[in-house]
Amino acid sequence: MKRDKAVLAVSFGTSHLETIQKTIGAIEEEIQEAFPEFEVYRAFTSEMIRRKLKKRDGLDVSNVKEAMERMRRDGIEDVIVQPTYVINGTEYDIMKKELAGYQGVFKSMRVGKPLLTCPQDYKEAAKAVLEENTLGPKEMLLLVGHGTEHHANAAYPTLEYMFHLLGHPQVLVGTVEGFPKLRDVLERLAVLKAERVVLMPFLIVAGDHVKNDMAGGEGSWESILKEAGYEVKTVIRGLGEVPGIRKLFVRHAKEA
């Protein structure tokens, strides 16, 4: 039976093939399970990643406009667009602008929210991460987010506050390109007299930022923390691999 309903899963994307299926693919699979009557389509919003995947691997991943046109040609009438973004930032704004051109093209088109949107999301995301980590005395969990100049960067300090509100003051959140920066985190670690740090990405995929900025060689968060005298355990695992995070995206799609 031909389906006339679809969920379009929109991700920034990654050129690291070994993490695509474990993260983005795993989220898409859970969406498919939750929406058995729907076709699930994929779109990546990073043109640089799309070009690299096509040139290097012969993988042709649609952007948002191409995916919308494909669904229209396939006779899809009802569309749910579910982004796998962490925050309501620049990428989400761009995606919504692109979708605006398709108002009226389909019988219905609804858009789901990014991971961290309302207080309940922060609580569920924090609990999902805590389920993955058991911390000992004088051990801190440091989550590394992307960060942005967009005002949505406030999501990262808010997330840290939620951990503390839930009774876990040993969790800190830093960002690669926003606030708090690594220097801010180092100040906190010194005040808290931490000895050991578990370094984990708060990014959907374990791609460039994880392998270079967080856990690479000289100049990475891992090496700077070690130089500062901390014992460091590094987790190379994107949020898409965390069951509770995938459930949150499914909930957002259902709410849409």
Instruction: Give catalytic residues, as residue numbers.
Output: 146
Separation in Å, CA 104 to CA 38, 72, 112, 156:
20, 11, 18, 36
Return the half-sphere exposure (C-beta side, CA atoms, 13 A cut-off) of residue 60.
2
- Cross-strand partners of 39: 6
SS3 state of residue 54: helix
Residue 253, amino acid: A
Chain centroid to CA 61? 18
Q: How many Å apart are CA 102 and CA 88, to the nearest integer? A: 20
Helix (H, G, I), strand (E, B), or coil: what is residue 233?
Answer: strand
Cα 92 to Cα 10, 16, 116, 168, 169: the distances in Å are 10, 22, 12, 30, 30
Please check whether residue 168 is in contact with residue 139, taking contact to mean a CB–CB distance below 8 angstroms: no
